[in-house]
Amino acid sequence: RQGYEDPHWQYPTASYRDDYSYQSHQRRPIAWQDDRDLRQGEPYGKSTSYRDQHYYRGYHPNLATTPLGQDRTQTYDSYKERDVSTAWPESAEGGTAGNNPGEASSQIQEPSLLLQYRESGLSSSGYELSQYIRDGTDQYDPMLPGTWSPAQAGEPSVSTPVPVVPHKFPLPHVVVCFGAGGQLVLVCPQCPAEGQLAHVELHSLEVMLHDTKELEELQAFPGPLAREDLHKADVLTFCQQKIDTSCDLSTQRGRDSALLWKLLVLLCRQNGSMMGSDTAELLMQDCRHREKYKRQSPASNLIGLTDDEWTSRQPGTLDLITGEVPPVVETQAQIVEKFTKLLYYGRKKDALVWAMRNQLWGHALFLSSKMDPRTYSWVLTGFTSTLATNDPLQTLFQLMSGRIPQAALCCGDATWGDWRPHLAVMLSNKAGDPELNHRAIITMGDTLAGKGAIEAAHFCYLMADIPLGHFGLKADRMALLGSSHRQAFAQFARTEAIQRTEIFEYCQQLRQPESFLLPFQVYKLLYASRLADYGLPAQALQYCEQIATTLLGQDPASHPVLAQQVMKLAERLKLSDPLLLEMPDQDQALEPDWLVQLRACCQQWEVR
């Protein structure tokens, strides 16, 4: 057996089963050839003396030389007693043989089989051989000693096959399966063999799941949106219901989600086209409150004065240039008059400092613009330093200066406040380099996405005309509107995200009827399968038709897997087409043209 260091007996493998006629039984020993083999190197297939002498006598007692009428059970009992007397002679002397004289006489008639094996040198373990013989005989004849057998009654011995594999289902049970037409098929536990009629029940999944949130979400959506009988008012009503029911305006994420729905409403109303000012108005309407951005005095070092010089030039001190003592509180006219007097004496630098210190930025900027560029840049920097860091004017001035605004890199933080005014000022003032404006908006979207504001980031991406990507490509910025494609697919491909993206595709088709979002077609197929799972096969078939029409307009060979999956689902749902109910019975076997064309394209692709 396996596990011994020097095994002489092993069980046959499957490859020997067809070579020898006596190997049709299970678990029978084979003696492998070695230096102690009695066959002396003779091939095993040509040696019959060992088989006739040992195997047939030990494993087929009916074929061995036994008295007439003695059955296999009696032979097995005599062998068993001889094995015990040989292996344990001490117990035999204790009276075991004396208890049954018949068994003792059988030991005298024929030597022990185990003793023959030991003397032949095939194995040194009598206990091991006894285990083989006992296991093998029990496998062949399951009758225990002392039980009734046909041989004891004088009838011929007939082996009855006993099933070794139990029944998979010992009792009748319910069988359930899902049908392609939104049905749940239930087979009741009946026994037709006993005269009971088979009972099959058909249940509608739409009726069984009518209270679930998922089915209500699918039924509320007026899809597919590309059908001819759809009106824009249905889409607008659905978007408004989503804003009212599924967006929590008390949270930042809820406001961002509502903003994305409002953008779809705006696109649908304007047939897919919009201007930057339209979006800016939408952004400012969604702001909960207009923040008050606090102004501050310009830093003294920006206007070229030290702290001591700044203090010495405060109102109430003697002016060394004019020889006058300025009043403590100066009016606007006095400030301008002082600016003019400084120019009388040709003190342009002091005039600029005076204008900057008294918030005369118009005078200062105009005067510096007529001077050298370095002075103009110095005055402009002093002006911007008076604005708050998160002031949208800072964003506009930085953008006009040819830089990526700091708000695009830091928005989404609590210290920066709302991100909407900064995007509004960038969308409404696209002067200068268009590429810079485009990169600034994308940078703001990346910053918001990195901080978990997915809806806000996708709003920015839509303003920058970023196309939809794929789920497997993490470098793409978005795949479904309002859902991050960097999370697990089950959380990513939510029904709401698919519906929102389909509305966006519908708005694009209002402007260009032949346009479509090719990466989105696979999510339409997923949505169609969900409709079929919840008992809405007619809508699912319409989605399959739309996807097939889109693929047939392109090259289906470029998307072979998608085309095949659409064809398989459509073949299961084709009988759910309401048009088939109006056809005669002989025409109901016909298939729609788009399905025939799609199957032909798939077959051509397989041939290629």
Span 114-155, pLDDT tens digits: 555 455 554 444 444 444 444 444 444 444 444 444 444 455
- Structural contact between residues 355 and 363, judged by C-beta atoms closer than 8 angstroms: yes
* 3-state secondary structure at position 527: helix
pLDDT score recorded for residue 88:
43
Q: Is residue 45 part of a domain?
A: no
Clarify whether residues 540 and 560 are in a common domain.
yes
298-347 pLDDT tens trace: 554 554 544 444 444 555 565 655 566 665 557 888 888 989 999 998 89
**How much is the mean pLDDT over the chain?**
75
Clarify whether residues 533 and 421 are in a common domain.
no
* 3-state secondary structure at position 183: strand
Tokens of 100: 């049954």
Whether the pLDDT of residue 530 is over 90: the answer is yes
Domain count, the chain: 3
Long-range contact list for 390-396, CB < 8 A, 24+ apart? 390/291, 390/293, 390/415, 390/416, 390/417, 391/293, 392/293, 392/421, 392/422, 392/424, 392/425, 393/293, 393/425, 395/422, 395/425, 395/426, 396/425, 396/426, 396/429
Clarify whether residues 525 and 472 are in a common domain.
no
- pLDDT band at residue 506 under the 50/70/90 scheme: very high
* 3-state secondary structure at position 124: coil
Q: Is residue 4 part of a domain?
A: no
Name the pairing type of β-strands 175-178 and 30-31: unpaired
CA distance 384 to 68: 122
Clarify whether residues 422 and 472 are in a common domain.
yes
Clarify whether residues 392 and 259 are in a common domain.
yes
Clarify whether residues 458 and 602 are in a common domain.
no
Chosen domain end from 515, 548, 564: 515
Nearest to 130 by CA among 68, 184, 80: 80
Query: Residue 607 burial by CB count (10 A; 0-12/13-18/19+): exposed, middle or buried?
Result: exposed
Tokens of 155: 């009838």
**pLDDT > 90: what percent of the chain?**
35
Structural domain of 525: 520-607
pLDDT score recorded for residue 161:
65
Chosen domain end from 497, 515, 533: 515
Clarify whether residues 282 and 412 are in a common domain.
yes
Clarify whether residues 494 and 562 are in a common domain.
no
Clarify whether residues 495 and 538 are in a common domain.
no
Q: Is residue 599 part of a domain?
A: yes
